[in-house]
Amino acid sequence: MYEITVPKLNSNDAGYVLTEWRYADGDVVPAGAEVAVVETSKAAEGLTSDDGGVLQHQVAEAGECRPGEVIGRLFPNEEQRQRFLAADAGPRPERAATNLVITEPARQLIDRYGIDAATLDGLGKTVIGRADVQRLVDQSQLVDQSQAVTPSRPDGDGRRIHRLTRSQLAVAEVVTASHSTIPAAYAAVIVAVDRAVDVLRAYSERERVSARLPELLIRCLADLVDRFPLFFATALDDGTAALADEAKVGVTVDVGRGLSMPVLGGAATASLSSIAAALAGYRAKALRDQLTAADLAGATIGVSLPAGDVVFAQPLVPPGLACILALGATHTVPHLGEDGVLAPRRIAYLGLSYDHRLINGREAALFLGELKAAIESPERLRALTR
C-alpha cells in the first residue's frame, strides 16, 4: 500500500484545502499521474503520485489537510482496498449524527435526570439550553438520578432502593462473567515518561491534536501482535486459543455516561495523530450516547485508562480477551540516578491483568518490558512523531 501524503508546499500555511480528487474511490491511478489538487493560501498545486494503484480517499473534497497528512491510499489491487476498508470501518470518528446543539449546563441536567435523546427530539428545538431541560424536568417531574440512592419508594423493610442504570447493568454482567470465568493474575512496571511527555506535547501542538501517553501506548502495543500472539488471543474451552491477526485495541471510555470500550483497529499502521483523532471521536460519540455495536465489537486486547489521579489500577479482563493493560496517571517521584544524585522524574505505572490460563508471569514481564522500552526509547519516539 502506498500512502499519498501532502508535501509542505509553503512555509506559511498550517493547512491546505483539498479542492479536487482527479480520480474516484476504486479508480486505478497510473504511476506519475496527478491524483489530487490542493489549494494553499497562495496557489493551487497538483499532487502527483510516484506509485500507481487502486485509490481510496482519506480526506474528502473541500476537506482540510495538513502537511504530512495522509489524504489517500493506493492499493495494489481492489481486494486489498476492500480489506483495508473493512478493517478501517471501526475507528473512523464520525461527525455527530444528531442535529441537536446541547450546551454543557443543559448536558449536566440531562445526565442528572437521565433524559433520553427521543425526549430531547420531542422538544422540537435544534439548540437546547439549560432552561429547556429544566422545563422538561418540571413538567414531567423527573427524578434526579445523580443521587446515589434515589428517593424512590422504600422496599418492604423500609430501606431506600437504588435502581442501576441500563449501562451499569451491562457493566455488571461483564465483570461478573470475568470474575467467574477468568483466573486473572497481575503485574506492573514503572515507565519513565519524561521524554515521551515532552515529545508528545510538541507533537500535539504541531499536529493540532491531543496525542498523549495512551495514544503512544496503543501505537506501540499494536507492534507486538506477532511476537506475543497469546496476548491477543481468545481462550477457548477445549484447551486451545484463537489467535488474532491484528491488534484491535479496546479502550475504556467513561465520560460520565457509563463505562464503554470502543475498539481501535489498524493501530499498527496508524499515526499517533490519527489514533488521537479516533479516540477523540469515540469520546465525543460516548458523550452523545452514539457508540454503535460496530464501535464496540472485535477487540483483541484491552487498555484501561483509570480516571483522574489514579496511579495504579487492576482491571478485570473482559471475557474474550487474554489481557488488559492499565496506564496510571503520570506523577513525579524522586529518582536516585546512577551517579547517586536525586532528581525528579515523571513516571507512570503500566499494569497488566492477564488470563493465567494462557499467559504466565515470565511472558507478562517480557511483554511489559517491551512496552516500557518502546515508550522510553528516544529513537522510537522520534520515528513516531516525525
Partner 1 sequence: MVDGSQSERVAGNLNRALRTVLAQDPRAWVLGEDVADPYGGAFKISKGLSGLYPGRVVNTPISEAGIVGVAGGLALSGDHPIVEIMFGDFIGLAFDPILNFLSKSVAMYGRRVPMHVVIRCPVGGNRGYGPTHSQSPQKHLIGVPHLGLYELSPFHDGTALLGRLLASGEPSVLFENKVLYTEKTFVDGVVDDLFSYDFPASPDGYARVFIEDPGTADVVVIAPGGLATRVLSAARRLFLRHEINCQVIVPAQLYPFDVRSLPPALAEAGRVVVVEEGTAGGGWGAEVAAGLYPYLWGRLAQPIRLVTSRDSVIPAARHLEDEVLVQSDTVYQAVLETAGV
Q: Does 43 bind partner 1 (CB under 8 A)?
A: yes
CB of 94 to partner 1, least distance (A): 15
166: left (phi over 0), alpha (psi -120 to 50) or beta: alpha
Q: Which of 103, 134, 181, 314 binds partner 1 (CB under 8 A)?
A: 103
Q: Report which of 57, 74, 67 is spatially closest to residue 273, judged by C-alpha positions.
A: 67
3-class secondary structure, 68: coil
Q: Which of 7, 11, 148, 166 binds partner 1 (CB under 8 A)?
A: 11
Question: How many whole angstroms separate alpha carbon 217 and alpha carbon 279?
Answer: 13
CB of 322 to partner 1, least distance (A): 41
At 221, which amino acid appears? L
Q: Report which of 324, 326, 330, 386 is spatially closest to residue 355, judged by C-alpha positions.
A: 324
CB of 183 to partner 1, least distance (A): 47
DSSP state of 25: T
If the CB atoms of residues 121 and 226 are measured against partner 1, the closer one turns out to be: 121
Q: Does 105 bind partner 1 (CB under 8 A)?
A: yes
Q: Does 101 bind partner 1 (CB under 8 A)?
A: yes
Q: Does 13 bind partner 1 (CB under 8 A)?
A: yes
3-class secondary structure, 331: strand
The set of cell numbers assigned to 9 is 508546499
Q: Does 371 bind partner 1 (CB under 8 A)?
A: no
Specify burial of residue 219 (Cβ count, 10 A radius: 0-12, 13-18, 19+). buried
Q: Does 130 bind partner 1 (CB under 8 A)?
A: yes
CB of 372 to partner 1, least distance (A): 33
If the CB atoms of residues 106 and 291 are measured against partner 1, the closer one turns out to be: 106
If the CB atoms of residues 102 and 189 are measured against partner 1, the closer one turns out to be: 102
Q: Where is 201: in which H helix or E strand?
A: helix 194-207
3-class secondary structure, 268: coil
Spatial contact of 385 and 209, defined as CB atoms under 8 Å apart = no
If the CB atoms of residues 39 and 51 are measured against partner 1, the closer one turns out to be: 39
**How many CB atoms lie under 10 A from the CB of residue 159?**
8
Q: Which stretch binds partner 1 (CB under 8 A): 37-45, 178-186, 221-229, 259-267?
A: 37-45
Q: Which of 24, 60, 126, 341 binds partner 1 (CB under 8 A)?
A: 126
The set of cell numbers assigned to 366 is 517480557
Binding mask 170-199 for partner 1 (x = CB under 8 A): ------------------------------
Question: How many whole angstroms separate alpha carbon 269 and alpha carbon 92?
Answer: 14
The set of cell numbers assigned to 158 is 423500609
3-class secondary structure, 329: coil
DSSP state of 234: E
CB of 143 to partner 1, least distance (A): 24
Number of residues that bind partner 1 (CB under 8 A): 23
Q: Does 97 bind partner 1 (CB under 8 A)?
A: no
Q: Which of 97, 99, 156, 308 binds partner 1 (CB under 8 A)?
A: 99
Q: Does 256 bind partner 1 (CB under 8 A)?
A: no
Q: Which of 104, 155, 238, 309 binds partner 1 (CB under 8 A)?
A: 104
> Where on the chain is the footprint of partner 1 (CB under 8 A)?
11-13, 17, 19, 39-44, 62, 99, 101-106, 126-127, 129-130
